[in-house]
Structures are given as structure tokens and as C-alpha cells.
Structure 1
Amino acid sequence: MTALIDHTRLHRTAKYFMDSGRAATHGDAMDILHGFGASICVGPEAATSVAHQIALLTLVNLLRRTLLGGIEILGVPDAPLLVPLARAHSLAAAAVELGGALATAANPAWPVVQIGTVSPCSDGISWQLTWQGWRGGVVPQHDTRRLLDDEANPLAAAMAAAAAAAELFAWHAKDHPMAGRRSAGLSLWNPGSDWLAQDASEPPLSYLPCSLWLIGLGNLGQAFAWLLACLPYAERSKVDLTLQDYDVIADSNDSTSLLSSLPLVGAKKTRVVARWLEAAGFSTALEERRFGSWTVRGPHDPAVAFCGVDNAPTRADLGGAKFELVVEAGLGAGPGGFRNFSLHTFPSSRRPDQIWRREDVGSALDVSSMPAYSALRESGLDTCGLAQLASRTVGVPFVGLIAAGLAVSEPLRRLHGSGGVELASGSALNLDDIESIRLPFSAYAFGYLPAL
């Protein structure tokens, strides 16, 4: 069994325990993840609230890829599905489709997450999701602070779910002493500000971008798609999305990418994401080749691009494709940095090729001497396979969703009169400390549609 593990089959979160030395074998790392689980208690608001449904379904989708012990859901109302995040017609069926299991009592061994107005489900570790305007996060059970949980910007509910997933993982992994004892969240309108404080400058969400190019359809690219489907478009059929990727779904994508699953292994990422977006009502066009210096936007192509690739040479070429606006999101690597995220926008004070080198120098981190890799070597994995395995980064879906939330909010901020964010960086381990550089930008002039 161990000898069959390669870089395409590796669970990218299990790699955290392999790379840090906490797991002696790949099997031990998977056993650790199978010990992680959560109970989700859902209030009656989810029957009629788009934001509450987004919070629930986003949380289930994130957690089932990371907490392999199981996700049990209590109190889901018998209600129709109001958001196009699953193919099911009811909310309960959608939660099951995305990987949850319906239950009548909380598992006493697991922490609890509460969404909406519910009676305490457990005497143990518990969090409450809460959001308002462009701000979302979680507070622990002893914290009485609560936002309005309104419908102003549904991305705030998705960010609350991502913050909950980050705290749950940190609590299970025991790698942050404050997990379960602190609030955690962020503002998409003003990254780095106090997300629990009222912000009178937040506008209602009135305008949405209508034409976008998505470069890279892995962890980040699929998170872009998920969040676009959360936005309250009045007519999704009028939204044109160009999807660019050359790769196919691998087993390992199931652990990090929100639209991937094991039955889809071997399918082109472009076609998987296109089918999902088209089922949600969007119009798509496909570009099934690598992005590079040869890629040039045509006069009728989307002027705005989201980039979610994981290599420097591709990022360095972003400046030559003739996009009017590029929003680039990136994720950290290694056991110490996999929770990190960053955002760049272009044009800005520096060109992409001034930030990234076209020569890919690779990672300086060598984890091949860790016990788990020694065990793989002894089991018969050859040097090439071991090098490929060791070179893959640790990955978790909730960090990708947070980074994608900041990226998708960039055109939203500009559409609603805010200056742009040139650079932002932070960590899911400390969402209260997002650093950003904001500069005045001209008005967003690349097409928009009204929001519901």
C-alpha cells in the first residue's frame, strides 16, 4: 500500500505531518487526519437565507477534505437549496452531496461549529460563525460578540466558514495554543482592519464583474469559481468566464480543490470547472494550454484576469498578456508556511517580471530526510519518485478560499468606489494580522452587472 503512494495520489494535508516529522509514515499521517472530525449545528435561518446556506455548504466542502474522521450536521431545515453550489434540490441533500452526514446528536469527541440561532450543541470546544457586510469569521463559545449575519455580501459568510475551518484544523493539529480560545476573521472591504468592529464605509453589494479570465484551475482557481457562484448575480448567463488550464484532475486535487473529487480523476480541469459553472448558469470558454509569454488577450476577451498558478515563471509572464487588470493570488509552502497567502494586482508600482523570475529555482526546503520519506524509500519508492513526492507543497483548501476571497473582492472593491489593493499578505493562523498596501486606482471600467 505504501509503495503505491506517489505525488499524484498524496493527500496534500497529510504531507504537513510528513514534512514536519510528526508522522513516521504516510499511513501515520493519514491516521492523524482520520482522527479529525467536527459537528455542525444549523439554525432555522438556513431555510430562507442565502448567506446561511453559503456558510454551511462552504464549511462542509472545506472540512470533508481535511477532517477525514467525518463531518456530522445537525438541525438542517427541510428547505429548498437557494444557491447553485450543488446539484441537489434541497439544502440537506446538498450538504450530504458535498460530504457531510446528517445526525441527531453531536459527537462528544469532536468540536462543534454553530451557524445561526441554535441551542448549545456541546459542552466542549465550540465556535459560532458570524458575519456582517463585508466581514466574516468565528468567535469561540465563551465570546458573546455577534454580528448581524446579514445578506449584504455573501462572500462574508464564505469567509466565516474558511476561518472556522482554519481554527478547527489548528485545534485538531495542536499547532496553535489559542485555537478554540480566540476570535478569527477578516474584512474583505478593508483587509487588516478589525473584522468585529462596525465599518460605516462598507457599501451594499450593488455591482458585479461580468467578464473574467481564470488562469489556473487548481486549489485557487476552483475557489475563484466557488466564490463567483456565491455572488448574487441577477442573470448569470450574461457573465462570460474564460477558463485556462492544461492539466487533469489527480487524486491529490481532492484534498485541496473545492470542485474536485475522486470520480473526476483524469478529467480535464477546464471541463470539470466549466460543467460546474455552466450548471450554475454561467457562460464559459476554454483555453486548454499553458499560460506563458505566447498568451495574448484578444480584443473581445475578458479584460480582467484572476491568476492562481503555483509557479514563478507563469506569474512573471502576466504583464505581457495585455490584460487591463490582473489579480494574482498565491499560497505559501512547506510545513511552516502552508497557511500563508498573498495578493498582487497589476498594473502597479512593479511589473510581474520584477517580482518573479522566469527561471524556476524550485524550493530550498528539503524534507526527504524526514522519517516518512525514509520509510517510503525502504518500501521501494525510487529516487525520482521520492524527489517528486518531497517537492510537492503542503496544501489545505481553506487557505486557498481565503486568498480567493481577497482576490474576488478586488474588482468588487473597485466597483464600489474603493481604491485598489496593490499587495496584501497574511496567514490563516492569524487572520487579524493581514498587511496590505493600498493605492488610489481609477474606476473599474471593464464591465459589470447589477446584483440582486
Structure 2
Amino acid sequence: MKLIESLNRTVKLALDDGSAGSLEEALARFGGFHIQIIVGEEVTHNLALQAYLQTVLNAAPRTFRGEVTIAGSLDFVFGSSWHMGQTLLATAKSYGVYPESVNSSKATLVVGQSSVEVKSFAFALYVQCTTNGFVLSPDPLELSAQDASGVVGVAAAGAALNECFQYLYFKKTWAGQRLIEYDFPVALTGGTVPDSLRVIGLGHLGQAAVWTLGFVQSWMRSACRLVLQDYDLVSESGLSTGLLTDLSSVGQLKVDAVKGYIDRLMVDSSVIATRMELDSETFVSESVCLVAVDDFFFRKKLDRLRGTSLIEAGIGEGVLGFTKFQLHVFPGKRLASDVWTGSSEKSTKPIQISAPAYQKLLHESSDECGTTQLAGRSIATPFIGAFAGAHLVAYSMCHSSTEVDAIALDVNSLH
């Protein structure tokens, strides 16, 4: 298998920023990243915290390649969503997360009220889910709101894992030490699930949106018609970011892999395994389309997609951009063709292979084309995808009432 199809998309950061002299060195570095999860009793009856916990269990092992462990109240059974009917312990093991005694040297996420004393830990982060957002703090927090949405829990997990990553990888002194109080730009209370929804693009962002839908109880109970559209196959590399893929998914069409997960929820869905063409006006029957396609020229043509409300999002690129995301709602105050003007910076900017790891690969393979292709692949993380995917879903529930039709956020700048 070619390296471009197997390389972990987050590990690639160490190649791009020049901190690793080889792929082996990058893998060894990520193999040293350990985190632990401490679970309190509160989780057993709070949907948002269950969404937070399941998202952490799913996303963390894809990035923190050393070890992810869990401790605390592990015997309760999930009453809804992706792991309905499973115990927390069985769910954790399904992601390769195993129980272990609490270790003060590990980066720690505390979920729910816990009696474990973590003041002496170098990194410990508490979470509180509120009606329209979340709080992350190194100090204990109040109980989470009982009416907090699962959408909030997914976004909070994405932000919390980013704090862990900034602490372990970049050694940022602020990571895990600051108070983050975040509210969604749209009001989640009173939001309704559209009667029909199409997700276009099932890479890590599109999968994160569908993953988030699994925690929206009103969607689970509704007759919403869900359509999945993508033409690409799941690669081994995609497992590092795709929340709805596992080893059995490799080689499958992404639409089939994701539908396989949705079928577990006993929710009806259909697939379109072709590229969405926008060379001329294209009409769709779904009331809302979530667009998660990483293609400048496709986005530029979104005005041609008719008969629907569009919510489009994308993740930033490069060593300094992978924690950023932007979202647009169409029709809105601007046309898509006015948002994306000129040519794609990505397509015109030369790809650099001067970093030590790429020079080593080039020396070993003598394949300049292949090395350049690898260097051109985007850095991506499952946790930034989760944060952005939660926003796609939030906007799909409030698409007819929101006045904020564009946002741009850097998860590192939350406060």
C-alpha cells in the first residue's frame, strides 16, 4: 500500500513542521502521547456528557497513539445513540480503550462529577455542558444542564481533545490551564430537524456531522429522510480522522461504510455513490444540504445548487491552519462565488518537500512525484472535525431562523 494511502493524517504534522527527521521518528513521537479519562456518576443520566464521552473514546485513539485509558464508573449502559444497550466498559474496549488505575502523569479528562483528586496532575480538564454551549476548566465545575444537547457534547469533546493535543504535541503552557466558556452562534433550544437532509462529502468532516446526528434525539425519533453522497473509497489513512470508519471499512465506498453505521441506529438512509456535479444548475429535493467537500472550485459553484438550504464548512490547512474552520449558509448575505473568488491558493502554491522527513523519503525512494503528492496531503484531526461537524448539525437545526450566516473560528482561540 502506498504511504499516501496509509499515513495517519495527524502524524503528518510532524513531517510538515520539520520536527521529525523521518516517518519512524514521527510515529514514535505520537506513540508517546498518553491520555486518561475519569468518569463520574453524572454521566449515567446526561445525554450531552454521554455524547462527549463517546466522542472522546472514538476520536482520541486515532490521534494519541500511545495509550488511552479509562477509570471510574464503567458499568452503566448507554440508553441511546451509537452504543445503545452497551456498557461503557464494552464501548471503551471497542475503541481500544482499556481500564487502568489513575496515573497523575497522564493528560486527564474528567467527565462528570468525580471524587478523584486531580489537583496535583500536570494536566486535568473538567467539562460542563450548558444549554447552548460548554465550559472547559482545570478546576471542578457545576453539574451539566439536563437539557443540554448531544451536539454540545460532541463540540466540547473536540475542543477538549485539542487542549490535550496542544499540551502534548506543542507543549503550550496555556493548554488545559485556561477557562473556556463557549456558546454556539445559533440558539440550539427550539431547533428542529429538517424533514430531509443530504450530506455531500463523507470525509472526516462529513462523517463528524453524521456522528453528531446520532446524538440528536429529535432526529432519531423523526422521519427525516437522510441521503449520503460521496464517490470515494475509505483508505487506511482515512481511519485516522473518520469517526464512522474502522479497519473493516478500508476499501469500501465511504457512503456504504457510513450507511453501515447508520443502519445500527435503525434509521433509514439512502446513498448516492457519485460526485455531485455543478457545471450547470442542479436541483435537489432535500430541504437542507450539509456540504463537507474540500474543493475550492466546487465551493465556488455552490450557487448552482438549487431547491435547498446549504450549510457548508471546511477545515483550515497547514501547520498553522488545521485548528481553524469556517462555515457559510446559503442563500445568505453573500453568494458562494463572492466568498471564493479568483483561484485556489492551494492549487497555485508550490508544494515544499524540503523538510527533513520528506528529504529522507525522497532519498530512499527516488520518487519525487510520490513524495510531493504525500507532502501535498492535508493535516487533519478527528477532534477538530468533531467540533466543526457539530456546528454543521447545529446550523441544520436552525437554518431557517439564524441571522449569523458565516463564522470563522480557531479552536485554539476559544475563551
Q: TM-score range by the shorter chain?
A: over 0.9
Residue type of the alignment partner of 1:260:
T
The equivalent residue for 1:440 is none
So what's the TM-score if we normalise by structure 1?
0.85
CA contact (8 A) 1:213 1:241 kept: yes
Structure 2 unaligned runs (5+)? Answer: none
CA contact (8 A) 1:317 1:353 kept: yes
The equivalent residue for 1:28 is 25
Task: Label 1:295 to 1:308 Cα distance change in 2 as closer, same or farther (>3 A).
Answer: farther
Task: Label 1:397 to 1:208 Cα distance change in 2 as closer, same or farther (>3 A).
Answer: same
CA deviations on 1:14-70 (whole Å, 9 max, x unpaired) are: 111111111111111111111111110001122233222211111111111111111
The equivalent residue for 1:232 is 217
Give the alignment partner of residue 314 of structure 2, picking from 311, 316, 330. 330
Indicate whether 1:211 and 2:209 are aligned: no
Task: Label 1:98 to 1:156 Cα distance change in 2 as closer, same or farther (>3 A).
Answer: same
Indicate whether 1:351 and 2:310 are aligned: no
Give the alignment partner of residue 70 of structure 1, picking from 67, 71, 77. 67
CA separation in 2, counterparts of 1:234 and 1:406? 16
CA contact (8 A) 1:210 1:238 kept: yes
CA deviations on 1:210-254 (whole Å, 9 max, x unpaired) are: 311101000110001001111012754612111110000001111
So what's the TM-score if we normalise by structure 2?
0.93
CA separation in 1, counterparts of 2:103 and 2:9? 26
Give the alignment partner of residue 159 of structure 2, picking from 159, 163, 172. 163
Give 1:266-345 correspondences, 5 Å limit. Answer: 266-293=251-278, 298=283, 301-345=285-329
Give the alignment partner of residue 125 of structure 2, picking from 119, 124, 127. 127
Indicate whether 1:116 and 2:100 are aligned: no
CA deviations on 1:91-125 (whole Å, 9 max, x unpaired) are: 2211221332122x123331111011102354212
Aligned-residue sequence identity (percent) comes to: 28
SS of the residue 2:328 aligns to: strand
Deviation at 1:362, TM superposition (A): 1.4
Indicate whether 1:11 and 2:4 are aligned: no
CA contact (8 A) 1:368 1:386 kept: yes
Give the alignment partner of residue 149 of structure 2, picking from 153, 176, 201. 153
CA contact (8 A) 2:214 2:220 kept: no
The equivalent residue for 2:354 is 369
Number of aligned pairs? 412
CA separation in 2, counterparts of 1:172 and 1:260? 25
CA separation in 2, counterparts of 1:203 and 1:271? 30
SS of the residue 2:62 aligns to: coil
Deviation at 1:256, TM superposition (A): 1.0
CA contact (8 A) 1:184 1:430 kept: no
Residue type of the alignment partner of 1:285:
S
Question: How big is the alpha-carbon RMSD for the aligned residues of Structure 1 and Structure 2?
Answer: 2.2
Structure 1 stretch displaced more, 70-79 or 162-171: 70-79
CA deviations on 1:141-180 (whole Å, 9 max, x unpaired) are: xx35536343332211222211110100000012532002
Residue type of the alignment partner of 2:170:
K
Residue type of the alignment partner of 1:134:
N
The equivalent residue for 1:199 is none
CA deviations on 1:244-280 (whole Å, 9 max, x unpaired) are: 1000000111111111222311000000111111221
SS of the residue 1:249 aligns to: coil
Task: Label 1:347 to 1:111 Cα distance change in 2 as closer, same or farther (>3 A).
Answer: same
